[in-house]
Amino acid sequence: MNNDLGIIRALAYNLYVERKGEDGSPLEDWLKAEKEVRKVNAARIEKSNVLEALQNRGRELTISAGKAAVKQGALNR
């Protein structure tokens, strides 16, 4: 979270500079930057969850294939 504050601060400042200090407020800049950081973090978490699910599914398939191979070996005896 501490790192996020620095990122939010930098984004808010960039928004301020982009609008040349006109037509807005520092609070609006801050809230917009905060929203963007939260969106990026949520996407990062979702990607992590998807990757974890795929890895778990891969392990399940590997275990199933191993069990099938053992069963097939027992049938061939």
Domain ranges of the chain: 2-75
pLDDT in tens, 2-37: 689 999 999 999 999 999 888 889 999 999 999 999
Higher pLDDT, 39 or 61: 39
What CA–CA distance (Å, rounded) separates 40 from 36?
Answer: 6
pTM exceeds 0.75: no
CB proximity list for 12: less than 8 A, separation 6 or greater: 26, 29, 30, 32, 33, 34
